[in-house]
Structure 1
Amino acid sequence: MIITFCGHAQISQKEALQSWLRTVTQHLIEQGAVTFYLGGYGEFDNLAASVLREQKKRYPQIELVLVLAYLNDRRDTSSYDRTVYPPLETVPRRFAISHRNRWMVEVSDVVVAYVLHDWGGAATTLRCAKQKAKQIISYCDGVGS
């Protein structure tokens, strides 16, 4: 089972969101999730990766995969198990992240979402997941927003 994440670059209520991510990821791991795709941009992505690194101590079988939007990405990838570069060679650089996000949704079984408003990249990615009829676990559903 492959899990991906979509969320805003800025987050609020970090402690509540972190606790929710711990609960959600533990449940997914117990249900058989092994591979977690992460975008690596923004506060939500970083928080999800941090929670998964904690989970990896308890569940060493899980794999954290950084999905690159740019082939020549020079970020430190040492805290991930591996990286993946989707087929984006022909995509103009300014569209690389949105195309990477769509690819992540397409290859994933479950999308874990922190989307509080209906504009921006996270909202677009969530709409894509809904159109593809992916299983979505939303922070908004969990907190009654």
Structure 2
Amino acid sequence: MIITFCGHRELYDNEAARTWLEMVTENLIVNGAETFYLGGYGAFDRLAASVLAEQKKRYPHIELVLILPYLNRRKDISPCDSSLYPPLESVPKKLAIVRRNQWMVEQADVVVDYVLHSWGGAAMTLEYAKRKKKRIISFQG
């Protein structure tokens, strides 16, 4: 089972988000999640990477994969086991993150979101996940 995340660049309640994300990711792992796709941009992505690094200590079989929007431009999210560049070679640079996010949603079985308002990239990604009829687990702040 592949899990991906979408969330805002800023966190509004870091402790509540962390506690919720710890509970959600552990429940997903116990129920068969093994691969986690991470975006590597913004506070929610960093929080997800941090929480999953802790989960990996208890569940060493899980795999954390950084999904790159640009070829040869790896952002360092140290707990990731590997990185992957989806087929985005022909995508204009200004659309690369949007298309990378859509690709992550398409690959995922579950999308975990921290989307608190209806504008911006995270909200666009969540709407895309809804259109694709993905299972979505949402933060209720």
The normalised TM-score by structure 1 is 0.95
User: Is this contact kept in 2: 1:115–1:138, CA < 8 A?
Assistant: yes
RMSD: 0.9
Cα distance per residue 1:34-86 (max 9 Å; x no partner): 00000000000000000000000000000000000000204335431010100
Question: Aligned to 2:26, what secondary structure does the other structure show?
Answer: helix
- 1:44 is matched with which residue? 44
- 2:27 is matched with which residue? 27
- 2:11 is matched with which residue? 11
State the distance in 2 between where 1:77 and 1:112 align: 18
Q: How does 1:1-145 map to 2 (within 5 A)?
A: 1-76=1-76, 78-140=78-140, 143=141
Runs of 4+ with >6 A deviation: none
Question: Aligned to 2:117, what secondary structure does the other structure show?
Answer: coil
Count of residue correspondences: 141
- Which stretch of the first structure deviates more once superposed, 68-77 or 22-31? 68-77
Kindly tell me: are residues 104 and 23 of structure 1, through their superposed partners in 2, closer, same or farther at Cα, counting changes over 3 Å? same
User: Is this contact kept in 1: 2:4–2:37, CA < 8 A?
Assistant: yes
User: Is this contact kept in 2: 1:77–1:83, CA < 8 A?
Assistant: no
State the distance in 2 between where 1:6 and 1:78 align: 19
- Which stretch of the first structure deviates more once superposed, 9-18 or 67-76? 67-76
CA deviation after TM superposition for structure 1 residue 114, in Å: 0.3
State the distance in 2 between where 1:71 and 1:108 align: 21
State the distance in 1 between where 2:78 and 2:42 align: 18
The normalised TM-score by structure 2 is 0.97
Name stretches of at least 5 consecutive residues in structure 2 with no aligned partner: none
State the distance in 1 between where 2:77 and 2:117 align: 30
The sequence identity of aligned pairs, in percent, is 65
Name stretches of at least 5 consecutive residues in structure 1 with no aligned partner: none
